Amino acid sequence: MLRIVSLGAHYMMILVVLFYAFLALSSIGFDDNKTMIFKRKLQKFLILVFQFFSFFTLYLQLKEIKIVSIYISLLGLTIFYPLLMNVFYPKRQKFLENHLLFFYSIGIVVLCRLKESMALKQFLIGAVGLLLFSFLPVLISKWKMIEYLGGIYAIVGMALLSLVFFVGVNLNGASNWIKIGPITLQPSEFVKILFACCLASLLRKDTSFVNVFKIAVISGMHVLVLVAEKDLGGAFLFFLVFLVTVFIATNNYIYFFGGLIGVIIIVALFYQMFSDSFFSHVKVRMLAWKEPFSYIDNEGYQISQSLFGIGTGGFIGFGLGKGLPSKIPYAETDFVFSSICEEMGGIIGICLILVEISFFFVGLHLAMKMKRKFHKNLAVALLLSYQIQVMLNIGGVTKFIPSTGVTLPFISYGGSSLLSSIILYYFLQGLTLIYDKEVKEYEEEQRRYQEQKNREQEEEKIKKTGRIQCPRI
């Protein structure tokens, strides 16, 4: 009987996520109307249903009372956070908010399955981050100087990245971490937001070759520091954000393809020259990517276990608590997508990718409507940073590309990754407030124009008739 109930809850979970993904994709590019409002409310309900069936299944399998307390905490956050935001930001982009809560819920569920203490810590970090940084939208919408500080963003970003050379620690082959007492931070997670602000600011007016060259030098310095820290995943992320943002801002194909070909040549040369010394950990990842099963006992163990987990889980998955995701090294961070697919199923994995795409296009729809070039560039750069990170993570765990070591935003375990994703989300909500303000200003301008036009027509009528037309009573 218990098995039947557990199986039924698992299938309900799959159906709920399928329906949520359908609503997410069908809502891209549409403005507020009664249908969209209904879809948003339905999405919130589906998130609550997903949480119930997920934690119900986990409790049936693991019988841990901590699971109930984590569920109640997550349920409270999911219900009361939007209500709180309704008070302060009633005009925010609510589809982005729904997607954030959806990703966050999946992350907490997976971590709860792997280790309850990690899930509790992740929940607390997320809850504190959502409250702590909730001032950002109003700051972004009110502070006019934000678009004129391109040089400051670059200097602060470089300083934060360079900190690891003095107080950094080495984790997983990369020296891009800072340890302050019990807290370990990854500066590059936060610098990517400063980097997006820098690009948006420097490209807001001048897109000449000289200015693009200056931006390329600044971007190259960020990338070189990350390479020196052996954080090649972060370096690749920063480079792609720079390349695509410049291409979108200038619409110059030479910049895009020239930069891409040039970097491919440089990377190939450096890899050939330093693959046995400086980039030894990259060589390991390349071997694991090309022939994981030939090196299954060593270099290819992680990616092999990831592929086994995704493959054996199939479309339906084993069910929460029934698989072996702990066999995958770093199943809670870099390879969390494999853990999701193994137990929740490939269908939920595919739906997760579709919702990630929806998140990107909802934000892109916002970017296209922004009037000022800085706001448009900022939205594009932030969304590219987010989506490229998603692609690098999922591409790495599925062997589509070599593993880069980047996390899956909102889902992977880690305070730096979660907090930086929350900050990025609030930046997008700040741009939503700016757009709402622009709409109100445009409507007011149209109203004044119409009033002026009516007055002119009335004056013209008076001139023609020679007397004032009194209204008939």
pLDDT of 191 above 60: yes
Question: 330 in the Ramachandran plot: left (φ > 0), alpha (ψ -120 to 50) or beta?
Answer: left
DSSP letters for 28-86: TT--S-HHHHHHHHHHHHHHHHHHHHHHHHHHHHH--HHHHHHHHHHHHHHHHHHHHHH
Q: Is the pLDDT of residue 463 over 90?
A: no
Average pLDDT over residues 61-89: 93
Residues 117-133: what's their mean pLDDT?
Answer: 95
- Could you tell me the strand order of the sheet in which 168-171 lies? 168-171, 174-180, 183-185
Q: Could you tell me what percent of the chain has a pLDDT over 70?
A: 94
Average pLDDT over residues 289-299: 80
pLDDT digits (tens, 9 = 90+) for 215-262: 999 999 999 999 888 888 889 899 999 999 999 999 889 998 988 898
Q: Which two tokens stand for residue 252?
A: 């110059």
Of residues 234, 274, 267, 219, the one with CA closest to residue 392: 234
More confidently predicted of 399 and 291: 399
* pTM of structure: 0.92
Which residues face 179 on adjacent strands?
A: 184
What residues are paired with 169 via a beta bridge? 177
Instruction: State mean pLDDT over 78-102.
Output: 94
Give the DSSP letter string of 385-434.
HHHHHHHHHHHHHTTSS-------TTTSS-HHHHHHHHHHHHHHHHHHHH
> If 0-12 CB within 10 Å is exposed, 13-18 middle and 19+ buried, where does residue 406 land?
buried
185 pairs with which residues across the strands?
178
Q: For the residues 52-68, what does the mean pLDDT come to?
A: 91
Burial of 273 (0-12, 13-18, 19+ CB in 10 A): exposed
Phi, psi of 165 (to 5 degrees): -70, -15
Phi then psi for residue 168, to 5 deg, are: -85, 160
285-291: average pLDDT: 77
* Region of residue 94 (phi > 0: left; psi between -120 and 50: alpha; otherwise: beta): alpha
3-class secondary-structure state, position 169: strand
Over residues 320-339, the pLDDT tens digits come to 988 888 888 889 988 999 99
pLDDT of residue 287: 73
CB 361 within 8 A of CB 96: no
CA distances from residue 434 to 195, 204, 382, 388 in whole angstroms, order as listed: 21, 16, 16, 25
Which pLDDT value is given to residue 11? 93
Rounded to whole angstroms, the Cα distance separating 425 from 386 reads 10
- How many Å apart are CA 60 and CA 1, to the nearest integer? 11
Pull the structure tokens for residue 306: 């990831």
| Cα separations in angstroms, 272 against 177, 239, 268, 300, 405 | 27, 20, 6, 21, 21
Instruction: Cite the DSSP H helix spans in 89-231.
Output: 94-114, 116-132, 136-142, 150-162, 164-167, 187-202, 209-228
Q: Which residues are within 8 A (CB) of 109 and not within 5 positions of it... i.e. 6 or more apart?
A: 51, 54, 55, 58, 320
Sign of the alpha-carbon torsion through 80, 83, 85, 88: negative
The answer, yes or no, to whether residue 286 has pLDDT greater than 80, is no
- Which of the 8 DSSP states describes residue 327? G
Q: How far apart are CA 273 and CA 461, in angstroms?
A: 84
- How many Å apart are CA 271 and CA 139, to the nearest integer? 44
